[in-house]
Amino acid sequence: MIDLGQKSIVVTGGASGIGAAICAAAYKKGASVGVIDIDGDAALNLCKKLGRRAYCALGDVESESSMNAALETLSLNMPAFNGCVASAGIMPTREPMEEMPLENFKRVLENHINGTFITCKLVGRRMLKSGGGSIVTMSSVLALRPGPVLGYGAGKAAIKNLTQALAVQWGKKNIRVNTICPGWVDTPFIRKQEAAGRDLSPILNMTPLGRMASPSEIANIALFLLSDSSSAMTGSVSVADCGITLAGGYLPYGELPE
C-alpha cells in the first residue's frame, strides 16, 4: 500500500497529461503537491480542483532563474521537497533529417535535456540540504528502441543516461533517481496529433495489449518510485509501454501531422 502522507512532491509539466495525473494521484495518497508549468492558468486550475494541499507556480524548466523562482514560491508552503517528477515535455517537429532546421532539433533537446538537468539540479540541491528524496524523470521507449523521429528520442536517451548518472552521484546522499519509459499514453500530447489527422491504428495494432496506457497507469508507477516502497531502487528504468517495445523492427512512429 503506497502512502505519501507527510510528503511534499513537486511535478514539472504538472498542469497536463501524465504530470496532471501524477499530481492528482499523489494528492489522493496524502501528499502536498507543487505544480510547476509554463502554462500558469492550467496549473492554477488544477490546483483549485485538487484542494488545499496543492500549490502552483509558473515556471519554465528550460530556465534556471525561472525554476529557482518557482521552487522558492512553492517553498513558502512546502518547506522541503521529498519527491519530484520531471514530466514537462514537448513534441518533436516532423521534418526529415536533410531538411530539418538545427533550431527545431535544438528546441526539443533543450526542452527535454536542459529541462531535466535544471529540475534535477535545483530540486536535488534542496533535497541534499533537507536529507534526501526521490526524483523521477520522464524518458520514453524511444530511448530504448529508436524510431525515425529526430531529436525526441535523442533527448529521451539523454534523460535516461542523466538519471542513471545522478543515481550514482547521489546514491550515498540519500537521493534516489529513477526514470519511466512510457510507450504511447493517452494524453493531449497524443490526441492533438490524432485531431490533426494522424492515424494511430497501425501503432495500436502492433502493441501487444492493443491500446495506449492511460495517464493514471503511468502515475501509479511514479507514485511507487516516489514512495518508500521502492527504497531499494535507484537508476532503474521502468518500461510502461503496453508491450510495444516487443514489437518487431523499429518502433512504429509513423508520420507526424503538419
Ligand X SMILES: NC(=O)c1ccc[n+]([C@@H]2O[C@H](COP(=O)([O-])OP(=O)(O)OC[C@H]3O[C@@H](n4cnc5c(N)ncnc54)[C@H](O)[C@@H]3O)[C@@H](O)[C@H]2O)c1
The answer to whether the CB of 136 falls within 8 A of the CB of 83 is yes
Point out which span in 34-42, 123-131, 196-204, 224-232 binds ligand X (CB under 6 A).
Answer: 34-42
Nearest to 43 by CA among 55, 27, 30, 51: 55
Residue 137 CA: distances (Å) to CA of 13, 34, 53, 94, 234: 11, 16, 23, 25, 12
- Asked whether position 87 contacts ligand X by CB under 6 A, the answer is yes
- Asked whether position 163 contacts ligand X by CB under 6 A, the answer is no
Point out which span in 33-41, 95-103, 122-130, 200-208 binds ligand X (CB under 6 A).
Answer: 33-41
Which of 55, 152, 250, 253 is the catalytic position?
152
Among 29, 31, 60, 162, binds ligand X (CB under 6 A): 60
Point out which span in 54-62, 121-129, 203-211, 249-257 binds ligand X (CB under 6 A).
Answer: 54-62
Taking the complex as a whole, how short is the minimal distance between the CB of residue 174 and ligand X, in angstroms? 26
The answer to whether the CB of 141 falls within 8 A of the CB of 252 is no
Q: How far apart are CA 207 and CA 192, in angstroms?
A: 20
- Asked whether position 184 contacts ligand X by CB under 6 A, the answer is yes
Sheet holding 8-12, edge to edge: 54-58, 32-37, 8-12, 83-86, 133-138, 175-182, 237-240
- Asked whether position 140 contacts ligand X by CB under 6 A, the answer is yes
Closer Cβ to ligand X, 115 or 151, answer by number: 115
Q: How far apart are CA 153 and CA 103, in angstroms?
A: 16
Q: Is 152 a residue of the active site?
A: yes
Taking the complex as a whole, how short is the minimal distance between the CB of residue 59 and ligand X, in angstroms? 6
Q: How far apart are CA 136 and CA 19, in angstroms?
A: 11
Q: Do the bridges between strand 8-12 and strand 32-37 make them parallel or antiparallel, or are there none, so unpaired?
A: parallel
Q: Which residues are catalytic?
A: 152
- What does the binding site for ligand X look like in residue numbers (CB under 6 A)? 12-13, 15-19, 37-39, 59-62, 87-90, 111, 115, 138, 140, 182, 184-185, 187-190
